[in-house]
Amino acid sequence: MDEPKRTLVTGGAGFLGSHLCERLLARGDEVVCVDNFYTGRRGNVLHLLENPRFELLRHDVTFPLYVEVDEIYNLACPASPLHYQTDPVQTTKTSVHGAINMLGLAKRTGATIFQASTSEVYGDPLVHPQTEDYWGNVNPIGLRACYDEGKRCAETLFFDYRRQYGLPIRVARIFNTYGPRLREGDGRVVSNFVFQALRGEPITIYGKGQQTRSFCFVSDTIDAIVLMMEADDRAAGPINVGNPVETTILELAEAVLRMTKSKSNLVFQDLPSDDPQRRAPDIGKAAALLDWAPKVALEDGLDETIKYFRDLQLADRQLADRQ
């Protein structure tokens, strides 16, 4: 029987990271969860603290970290426009300095290292659907550049470490992932719409709502991440991870209204700067190398997400009643 791995997850108390920590613990790993709690929340991993194979460290990856591990999953970076544009310099530092520090750790320990890259490296794409060999259409000085270009630079570093030092890497370009533990009101479209609908607030749509996204449920994204790390070096990447089914923002809003039975109105506002108009991955590479494709339909995933936000609201009301 294989020895259990000692695994590091940066950004491990965040939305995606907390689900990954759960999955790794379930397969028997020892998990070191690192987070500076800028956007991550202790509550996301509170249920894991009693597990003797789980360790939680408050740490910022822009500073070096000295631990002994077999695998590294580098997920540390704010992922919503609201958060990454609040402190754009720190966002770039997290992507670039964080990548340098984690790659240095991987080089020292001989660990395989995974980078959570993003569909944002494609910018406002001129190629559709987006394939991994497309170089993208990114505004390097725009409001979103701190995230887009930070992630692009991190990819550069990962592949240079692979070429220069032979480091085993995995790079996934993750498209819109959603599900339980999204932060309410964090600027991401699914959490915004569900949160607004449940509170009976106007649902904010930018432009006419005809821009498209591909929505991948969190369990499907985690499946792909773990499969990449278990695969051989052909899966170094970059590999698109997302749902190839395109959904317009207006269609998403209408689905959320229907499923929540909300009376919220739709409110249309101007498009933000550099907002991509079409976004959908070509997942042929993931299918060929990982035998992976998303399984969870959008309505099923939305149902789980709505239940999560309803439970949060109920817990908030109960807390308020006790005070």
Residue pair 182/190 in contact by the 8 Å Cβ criterion: yes
Among 38, 73, 84, 147, which one carries the catalytic annotation?
Answer: 147
Cβ neighbours, 10 Å, residue 304: 15
Query: Residue 246: which H helix or E strand, with range?
Result: strand 246-248
Distance CA 69, CA 10 (A): 12
Please report, in angstroms and rounded to a whole number, the separation of the first and last CA atoms in the chain.
52
Q: Residue 145: phi, psi to the nearest 5?
A: -65, -30
134 carries an active-site annotation: no
Q: At what angle do helices 249-260 and 189-198 cross, to 10 degrees?
A: 30
Residue pair 45/21 in contact by the 8 Å Cβ criterion: yes
Closest by CA position to 51, among listed 66, 77, 31: 31
**Half-sphere CA count of 113, side-chain side, radius 13 A:** 30
Distance CA 91, CA 220 (A): 26
Residue pair 180/17 in contact by the 8 Å Cβ criterion: no
Closest by CA position to 295, among listed 217, 237, 205: 217
Bridge pairing between strands 266-269 and 203-206: parallel
Distance CA 20, CA 12 (A): 8
**What are the catalytic residues?**
147
